[in-house]
Structure 1
Amino acid sequence: MVRITVFGESLVDLVATPDGRHFRADPGGSPANVAVGLGRMGVSVTLATGLGDDAFGRLVAARLVASGVTVEAQPAPFTGLAIVSVDGAGVPSYDFALSWEPAAPVLPPDTAVLHTGSLAAALPPGDRSAEAAMAGARATAIVTYDPNIRPALLGDRTSERRRVERQVALSDVVKASDEDLGWLYPGADPVGIARAWQRSGPALVVLTRGPGGCVAVTAAEQIHRPAPAVEVVDTVGAGDAFMSGLLSGLLAAGLLDPGRRAELGRADRALLSGPLTRAVTAAAITCARAGADPPTALELEDAGRRTPAEPFASFPPTRKSGT
């Protein structure tokens, strides 16, 4: 079985109650969430990350292992925290306390895909390690990337746009949200930016649009996939679940073979229909329950049997106590 190696931050989401006085501790971090989603979907996955020797680090590690993720953790001064406030529409905002100073990972020899992004590819000095890993992996692996923009932690817009464009050009598959592109390119057409990114190097760029579904851009065509109806609890981790679903779907379709980059770049509606449907379904299930709680392979299979008009609602949590 081929392996996906994820390089990036792990942290704990402290999710505020409506009164803002109490917090629930949920393991998170965008790359860690992607790894958890892949593990639950039956993919062989390693997370190269940094963790502190503390209670939060043990909480994060327990969740990863319970989800089938192999953890390669470099020591960090402390485990990062994200303080999450969710508005009345279920949309989160974040404040962070982080330490991210890892060396570039040594990839397991069976790695066919390297995924990175979010704060791991943005915050110095770890951003240099992420870019070194991306550049070094291209000879033997497919590189996938999600910028997952967090404006509160970033520099000026022009510098961040240059960084993201440089990292996009190092990638084979890129996923970004219309919120990401709205911050990077105010007033620009997000689909037009996705097309420009695809021409800069990636074989596939996927733009997520919340309830509007997603748009995939390859050299062959542009494909829209609608989002399933969902009764939203919150949208925490939905983009990460989408990424896990997309990667697991592309892997199942044989499109993440480093020797088939050209085929991925020419992928059409027939080839991408399954992976895109899997991605929007994974995101919908995650929106139907609290926190970053991506679905299992069995839940995705069960969801595939629902009627299109039936909304996703009331999914019980996958997490067990302490994971």
Structure 2
Amino acid sequence: MTAVPAAAAATAATNRIVVVGESLVDLVWRAGADSIRPIPGGSPANVAVGLHRLGRPVTLVTCWGDDPPGALVAEYLAGTGLDLLRAPAATERTTVALAYVDEATGAASYDFLAAWDPVRIPVAEDTALLHTGSLAVVVEPGAEQVLRACRQLHGRPGRAVAVDLNVRPAVQPDRAAYRAAVERLAAVADVVKASDEDLAWLWPEQDPDRAARGLLALGPRLVVLTRGADGATGFTAEAQVSVPAPRVTVADTIGAGDAFQSALLAALLGPHPDGNRAVRIPTEPQDLERVLRQAATAGALATTRPGAQPPTLDELRNATTPVQPPPFRQVP
């Protein structure tokens, strides 16, 4: 595995977040425009950038090809300041996504030329939280490597696995196969986030709340259901809490869910009594509400500017009351 660049001092920090998944190039096509703009990103990469901007120690484990889209990805990631590990891949292809943006609503829809084929995904000993999702959990052969990495960390004291489903039927139109992959992953995850659109596609016969509770029954300690402009709901064994989304002027929705996820994960990683950091799963309704409000605010802020631009820590602090970490509860 090649470090690009090797941020040795940052990597030595205790208990960091590791984000695993694809980096890609979005070809953004706005309705009515006569040009397409290439923008490097990818959901896992966006989440890692968001965590970095929020001051969390984070490493992005990803891969890309030695092709023109890959050169754009490499240049972008090098400029983010992220601690970055480029995993060896079986091919030299970089994923390209075509993002269609509706000018009236700012909503984006996607199509993909997908490549996700890391040969291996190691999990460092100082990993407190492993996050993955989107194409990385369903595009083979890499999805099997991701599942193996999640199993390696899941169940270790004070550690956790988080997943953002970010369902993309364009890369796996077989609903039953996609659902099976999601269920396997949920069984080794502590936190699962999904949008109402994700769950409506996976389980069209169920309302999103019921589908979210079904995911919770598979083993996660927290399931978060996002509803776009209608806010978000968190489900735990002890509580169900909903929060509204802040009202903002939307430029587009690209990266909004990733910004939400970054702020959610940042709020869940807090100081352990031994001086390290560990994952805290909020169990009291008021604690879950504070975590969700921070995440919803981050997602709203990201929609106010074009492209995937998650807020900085100062921007988030200025827009919301800082989250007070819930009482420590070790993840068994």
Considering the TM-score relative to the shorter chain, is it more than 0.5?
Answer: yes
- The offset of 1:120, in angstroms, is 0.5
Quick check: 2:229–2:245 contact (8 Å CA) kept in 1?
yes
SS at 1:227 equivalent: coil
> Structure 2 residue aligned with 1:267, among 283, 290, 295?
283
Residue 25 of structure 1 deviates from its aligned partner by 1.6
Contact 1:248 1:275 in 2 (8 A): no
- Given the alignment, which residue of 271, 292, 297 partners 2:308? 292
Q: Who is 1:189 aligned against?
A: 207
Once residues 217 and 109 of structure 2 are traced to their aligned partners in structure 1, the CA distance between those partners, rounded to angstroms, is 32
**CA 1:197–1:128: 2 relative to 1, 3 Å:** same
> Using a 3 Å threshold, how does the CA distance of structure 1 residues 62 and 278 change in structure 2: closer, same or farther?
farther
Flag the 1:249–1:221 CA change in 2: closer, same or farther, 3 A.
Answer: same
Kindly tell me the number of residue pairs found equivalent between the two proteins.
Answer: 302
Residue 97 (structure 2) aligned to one of 71, 76, 82: 82
Residue 19 (structure 2) aligns with: 6
Partner of 1:216: 234
The answer for the alignment partner of 2:243 in structure 1 is: 225
The answer on whether the counterparts of 1:142 and 1:258 sit within 8 Å (CA) in structure 2 is no
TM-score (norm 2): 0.85
**Stretch deviating more after TM superposition (98-107 or 283-292):** 98-107
Is 1:134 aligned with 2:150?
A: yes
Distance in 1 between residues matched to 2:276 and 2:256, nearest whole Å: 27
Is the CA contact (8 Å cut-off) linking 1:52 and 1:78 kept in structure 2? yes
Show the counterpart of 2:43: 30
Q: Deviations over 1:259-305 (max 9, x none)?
A: 977x72x6122222332111101100111110111111111012127
Q: Residue by residue, what CA displacement relative to the aligned partner does 1:229-276 show, whole Å, maximum 9, x if unpaired?
A: 111111111111110010001114769x99977x72x61222223321
Q: For 2:208, give the aligned amino acid.
A: P
Kindly provide the amino acid, as one letter, of the partner of residue 183 in structure 1: W
Unaligned runs of 5+ in 1: 306-323
Gaps of 5+ in 2: 1-13, 322-332
Matching residue of 1:42:
55
For the 8 Å contact 1:61–1:71, the answer to whether it is kept is no
Spell out the pairing of 1:1-323 with structure 2 (5 A cutoff).
Answer: 1-75=14-88, 76-87=91-102, 88-140=104-156, 141-252=159-270, 264=281, 267-304=283-320
More helix by share: 1
Root mean square deviation of aligned Cα: 2.2
Segment drifting more, 37-46 vs 68-77: 68-77
Rounded to whole Å, the distance in 2 between the matches of 1:65 and 1:227 is 33
Distance in 2, matches of 1:33 and 1:260, equals 22
Mapped to 2, the partners of 1:247 and 1:81 lie a distance apart of 27
What does residue 321 of structure 1 align with?
none
Q: Which residue identity is paired with 1:86?
A: V
